[in-house]
Amino acid sequence: MADRLVKLEIDGAVATVTIDRAEKLNALTSEMLESLAEIATQIESNNEIRCVILTAAGDKAFCVGADINVWSALAPLDMWRHWVRRGHQIFDQWARLRVPVIAAINGHALGGGLELAAIADIRIAVAAASFGMPEATIATCPGWSGTQRLVGLIGASRVKYLALTGIRIDAKEAWRIGILHECVEGGNVLTRARELAVGICRLAPVSVQLTKQIIDAGEGVGAASALEAMAGALAASTVDAGEGLASFREKRKPAYRGK
């Protein structure tokens, strides 16, 4: 069942991931979170994919966050172990994908849904969408990086405004404060996302992916892994790297030349 609630389609170099639970406003269950994790792993291992579109079914909601019927039934320690903590891990996995992610926001993005949108590199939404952090209205707190990643995105002051009041803002205001990059009139947000994705796919893929890592590293996200990956790739391209491998195979001392 969960597999059908999060769908992956690959068209050339573009992967489209759709949360397909429109009748529940695309609220997330633990099984859906695990499907998102599995899909992220598939995307990361597929070198043919150059861009990902993350969207949802229906025209009312992108995602209204965690399914309250799921997390409200958990014991406090299970809430920490298997819900909040695991959600963080999966959202971080998505945020650190090698390829760019475009969130095509087709409706309301509330609570965990706004946190999910925040993992994307580019966010566009229909004009009818709304955005908010209503957790305090049901006596809980943001649990999937709303107090962290969103602060990095729009600043602590604006996050406080949303989280401490529980109010919703419309797409134009979300664009003004930096949540959105584009506000799309009408209902063609997925069409626009595909245009952006195709444009990205025309660019040099390694340059795009390295640029994403550099920008993220400058913001303190994955800096150590980015530096080590780039250093390893640079070292592997040298003449000395070939000499090192050859000497190992031939069981002799290497003659390095610094090239």
Is it the case that residue 66 has pLDDT exceeding 50? yes
Is it the case that residue 243 has pLDDT exceeding 90? no
Which range of residues forms the domain containing residue 222?
A: 205-250
Instruction: Give yes or no: residues 67 and 183 share one domain.
Output: yes
Residue 256 within any structural domain of the chain: no
Instruction: Give yes or no: residues 209 and 223 share one domain.
Output: yes
Q: Indicate the number of domains in the chain.
A: 2
Distance CA 106, CA 129 (A): 7
Instruction: Give yes or no: residues 56 and 133 share one domain.
Output: yes
Distance CA 69, CA 133 (A): 18
Q: What's the confidence (pLDDT) of residue 197?
A: 98
Lowest model confidence (mean pLDDT) among 25-34, 75-84, 126-135:
75-84
Tally of residues, the chain: 259
Residue 255 within any structural domain of the chain: no
Cβ atoms 240, 257 nearer than 8 A: yes
Q: Mean of the pLDDT values across residues 38-49?
A: 97
Instruction: Give yes or no: residues 46 and 174 share one domain.
Output: yes
Catalytic-labelled residue, pool 115, 185, 219, 228: 115
**Ramachandran assignment for 252, one of left (phi > 0), alpha (psi -120 to 50 degrees), beta (any other):** beta
Q: What's the confidence (pLDDT) of residue 2?
A: 47
Instruction: Give yes or no: residues 219 and 93 share one domain.
Output: no
When pLDDT is cut at 50, 70 and 90, the band that residue 6 belongs to is very high
Task: State the CATH number of the domain containing residue 84.
Answer: 3.90.226.10
Of the residues 186, 201, 216, the one at which a domain ends: 201
Distance CA 182, CA 37 (A): 27
Instruction: Give yes or no: residues 106 and 14 share one domain.
Output: yes
Cβ atoms 60, 108 nearer than 8 A: yes
- List, for residues 82-96, the tens digit of each pLDDT value: 678 888 899 999 999
Query: In 136-215, at which residue ranges do the beta strands (DSSP E only) sit?
Result: 168-170, 182-184
When pLDDT is cut at 50, 70 and 90, the band that residue 113 belongs to is very high
CB-side neighbour CA atoms (13 Å) of 86: 19
Handedness of CA 67, 163, 57, 202 (dihedral sign): negative
Instruction: Give yes or no: residues 110 and 212 share one domain.
Output: no
Catalytic-labelled residue, pool 31, 44, 48, 135: 135
Is it the case that residue 248 has pLDDT exceeding 50? yes
When pLDDT is cut at 50, 70 and 90, the band that residue 78 belongs to is low
- List, for residues 177-236, the tens digit of each pLDDT value: 999 999 998 768 999 999 999 999 999 999 999 999 989 887 776 666 667 677 767 777
Q: What's the confidence (pLDDT) of residue 1?
A: 40
Residue 257 within any structural domain of the chain: no
Instruction: Give yes or no: residues 38 and 99 share one domain.
Output: yes
Whether 115 is a known active-site residue: answer yes
Cβ atoms 141, 111 nearer than 8 A: no
Instruction: Give yes or no: residues 152 and 246 share one domain.
Output: no
